[in-house]
Chain A
């Protein structure tokens, strides 16, 4: 039943993507022109409690997707938090999720590694695929699934252990015991997270003694130590000061290419600086999704423009 439904949705996505966009290269006037009509469209969808067909930029069609989301809806009890989201996350690119608070960004992110399973009241429909493997299907081993996905949270959350133990946590739980392997992975991951030089002399100190920014980079190192197929970052800089934020942004820049990153951010500049693609969400609906530059410079929908220019949100 679920499978059948996902097949139809999948074809729908394809159809939608093929459909030519009405206002490519419209410039600022096109933004101006689309100001009246589409606004009604999203707000109508919200007020009529129905789904909204997202505005997808054709540039996405050229990308190979690591993660495909098809008609994914999520309910917290009776409250619907995600409304038939359909989108693909390109491989080796940074995709930013933006939108006002409470629009479902974190929910969507948590759905990817099925962390929402921990909440009793959650029900879902639709499908997600990680490199072609269904995420929501009976018989999926959630633990194995999560091992393929890395996640970094809003607040730095290192374990109260040594820096070394933190980084190699995923290997520990996999039962890896070889010291050489562990040390190698630790160094590579810390280098990858740009933390190696700062901590190489105190790998066995408690991770809690690091500064907030260092802790967050440690969390990233911990996530990439597992060689995830996709890395989920949920507002990774919102608890950090501007300098630490800058470093994390640089780091994301560096990780681009080797990792596929899906990042939630509140900070429009951050999204524009670091991401290749940006998706704008509003009240559980995906509104517009496209290359970051297009979305910020010439958004197709006026809601998007209003949001990125700070007129609401």
Chain B
């Protein structure tokens, strides 16, 4: 018997092999591609953020020597030109924004304009000619010079007590047509001197002529003949404020008000003045006079580091506000002082190399007449300061746009600091002494002017120029994540405020308020979402028939797809105003809803057994559908009463702390806690006692006893809460200011509720999966042991599914952390940091969404927003990873069962 059919040989067809190959390749590409894409996002974020950590970048040093005998001196405007020897030291210097020219003012009143690249002098003149035709004595060398580099304003004081005001400014002019013809041959980037101006062809071919003009006004009579020793002036839009310190130990203030007559165009100058004499304490040798922003304070600094602060809000009545020792060390000596941008922060350098930033704060209970105190806010020092002190600070230059200060030390080192963040941007060095420093108007160059006989070729006077880029000086780890003492704040704080309307505004990039906001949003939404979602999952997995469960689950899953912008819109436009109208009722509903539901359940037990069994299918339905409206109605009815009992009739005023006693707030906190305490102690003591007593009672009697116990518990809860609240109120504690405080319409409660709604579906779905994946044999074992479904759920199902539930919560948390639209629309976006459930907040995600579109690309703000994104990424990544790890563990455990 030979089998006719040959044995079939198993071979894999070519087509199958090819398909296999293709599938494998595609799957690999897809998988690796996904991983690469995610990593690339991460890499990109890091790449954008990375420059935040670096210091400043500086170009190579360019040395310019200033010839002692200039080849050509030009007449400037109407003033007589003459050759003056440079006798004094450089008082101050500045360069123009294109870094073509530099002006310097010397102590003897000489004003020099130089070409910055070569050092040629273009202008050298006395600020006030000796033979001034006006005939007053305010001529010749001024006895005091005050320069406001920022505004280009000069103030000159003279030995006869008079003052003159002046301006110095750069003007750039674009040459075209005839004017340009002469410079046809100028290559892009090349410069040429043309009289008192320098012409440059820019890289894009435009011809630009830069001139520096100085103008000194007529002498102003100050009404005193005592010599001006120190002078400072402040240019504001309203006019100039001038302060002078005279040899007779008096401080004089003038406000020069210029009024233009609209009819005639004639300008009238008015001088409002005030004078105060100051009895100098021993050893107080005034060396600097500084008028702060708005003229509100005037500082007179002494060599020994003391500062007399005068209250000069009213210039006609100056008065000493306080005398502060800025340098308490006995041997300290003040070497230089200057205002930071905005003229509020005072920078004081001393002989020991220290540099302090001071400003006034207005603490409660200040004893000065203007209610303010000068405090040391930041100390800026070189790294080597700790090693026995660094050389003296010799010169300061402040930026005209940021809070940078360049500091020159006696050993020729130059450091640049950001005052607020304290970041040291690096060190530059020159040989020899530095007389003055300048930061170019765009912070793109640093210029060190040498003292006489120093710092230049063959002992000549000169300058060193570095191109400079401060990069992201505002950002340090501490500035991002630790409290920072910003100018005008009472102390170090976490603040996020990235932009403002004013120019001298300092961006405050503390990320902590945003992280806090994110956590607060997450906390409140989990507070609402988690219990509801977990209980719903428990209910549907343990108590619902599969026939009902499946459609319910799909419905909830569809709910997860509800666009969050819709939820945010509902929250912001409908829910928030509604809650605002019914705050007391909402608060009351936290108590009445659970009460009504529980009361319903207890009342159910009172039904005759026959009826109860027959209606058992309707039990939950009846309880919920009937008691929910009862709870809501009760809340609505109770709302106004609660408001008048606990919150002095108006909960919003009560919340803002304007009226009422703290009792109501404590009730709010203690009622749930008391309920918990009563429930636990009840089940610990009352229930066993009742159980022992009730042996042999009928069903109705038991139900009545139960209801009685419930009523007793409710009363006990409120009594306990009231007692605790009363105690707290009597002890003077007030909950207001912590978790309850001023009511804002868009608040954490609303967001928590709506975002809770947004995260419920995802938590529910995962939790339901976790609960249903608890092996049914455990459920059966528990039920067979005589446990009720509820006991089974609590004792067996929940503990078994705990890790799954945990991962559900974590996924919900991840969703809440990253959620943007709801928080953007419903939080009010105020980056405040408090746990108050009635205030808003700003989250990382909403912050990125609002600010990134308007952030200047590659600016500090832009990069910080990317850092916020990175932080968010890290946060959600950490949360999801934790969830995944727990889930893996859960899965292993589930297999074990």
Contact = CB atoms under 8 A, between A and B. Distances in A.
B783 A170 contact: no
B788 A169 contact: no
Nearest to A117: B783
B699 to A, nearest CB: 10
A173 B777 contact: no
Contact of A169 (B545, B775, B795, B897): B795
B688 A160 contact: no
B778 A222 contact: no
Interface string B771-811: 00001011011111111100100011001100000000000
A159 to B, nearest CB: 5
A146 interface: yes
A48 to B, nearest CB: 35
A139 B614 CA distance: 9
B687 interface: yes
A115 interface: yes
Contact of A177 (B688, B786, B893): B688
B893 A153 contact: no
Nearest to B896: A208
A268 to B, nearest CB: 26
B39 interface: no
A146 B786 contact: yes
Contacts of B775: 157
A155 B715 CA distance: 49
B620 interface: no
A201 interface: no
B510 to A, nearest CB: 46
A170 B785 contact: yes
B676 interface: no
B609 interface: yes
A146 B691 contact: no
Contacts of A219: 781
B613 interface: yes
Interface in B647-694: 687-688, 691
Interface residues of B, number: 28
B55 to A, nearest CB: 56
Nearest to A144: B786
Contact of A173 (B610, B691, B786, B897): B786
Interface in B598-645: 609-610, 613
Contact of B785 (A120, A138, A177, A226): A226
Q: Majority SS of interface residues in chain B?
A: helix
A107 B784 CA distance: 14
A153 B780 contact: yes
A78 interface: no
Contacts of B687: 175
A169 B782 contact: yes
Contacts of A159: 778, 781-782, 795-796, 800
Contact of B800 (A139, A160, A177): A160
Interface in A86-120: 113, 115, 118, 120
Contacts of A59: none
B897 A160 contact: yes
B785 A115 contact: no
Interface in B878-897: 893, 896-897
A7 to B, nearest CB: 22
Contacts of A145: 786
A3 to B, nearest CB: 16
A226 B787 CA distance: 12
Contact of B795 (A151, A173, A226): A173
B655 to A, nearest CB: 43
Contact of B609 (A139, A146, A177, A208): A139
Interface string A145-180: 111111101010101110000000110111101000
A151 B786 CA distance: 10
A115 B780 contact: yes
Interface in A171-230: 172-175, 177, 208, 219, 222-223, 226
A146 B781 CA distance: 11
Contact of A157 (B613, B781, B893): B781
Given A138-B613, A157-B778, A160-B893, A169 B688 contact: no
Given A120-B545, A208-B896, A173 B778 contact: no
B584 to A, nearest CB: 39
Contacts of B799: 160-161
Interface of B: 545, 547, 609-610, 613, 687-688, 691, 775, 777-778, 780-788, 791, 795-796, 799-800, 893, 896-897
Q: Which 7 A-B pairs have the closest CB atoms?
A: A147-B786, A151-B784, A146-B786, A157-B777, A173-B787, A157-B781, A173-B791
Given A118-B783, A160-B778, 9 more contacts: A115-B784, A146-B784, A146-B785, A151-B781, A151-B784, A157-B781, A159-B781, A173-B791, A222-B785
